[in-house]
Amino acid sequence: MLYITKQFKFCAAHKYWNDSWSHDKNFSIFGDDIKIHGHNYVLDVTITGPINEASGFIYDIQELKNIVNNNVLSILDHSQIQEDIPWFVGKQPSTENLVQFIWDNIAPHIQGKAKLYKIKLRETPTIFAEYFGPE
């Protein structure tokens, strides 16, 4: 099976907080991340499928760029995630939730024989999440 990955970058801010916990409990779980802070995220979108004989590609990269720009980057870039994006109401703006959000916003738009295989989102040099779609 073949895979192609396109990388994207965006900047966004968030904070972690659970309203049902005390300040001390929030701080013990989330540390200083209870304060608004930002990240320079690196997003890898991996597509799998057969090679199109006419183009030589698994998927049209220009089309993938349009899908990601219109359905992910235009929403997330320079946002305060938990404040600006309705999908995150009642959810932490964690890397784990972000990859699910991104999948949900890309997968329906991938057309033809190609399929979305994986979303990888790097939040920091030492933290990233990978998502292979719903079970």
Note whether 27 and 35 are within 8 A (CB).
no
**Residue 102: partners with Cβ closer than 8 Å, 6 or more residues away:** 43, 45, 72, 76, 119, 121, 131
> For the chain, what is the mean pLDDT?
97
pLDDT, tens digit, for every residue of 43-61?
999 999 999 999 999 999 9
* Overall average pLDDT of the 107-128 stretch: 96
Note whether 1 and 48 are within 8 A (CB).
yes
Give CA angle at 81 (75, 83), nearest 5°. Answer: 110
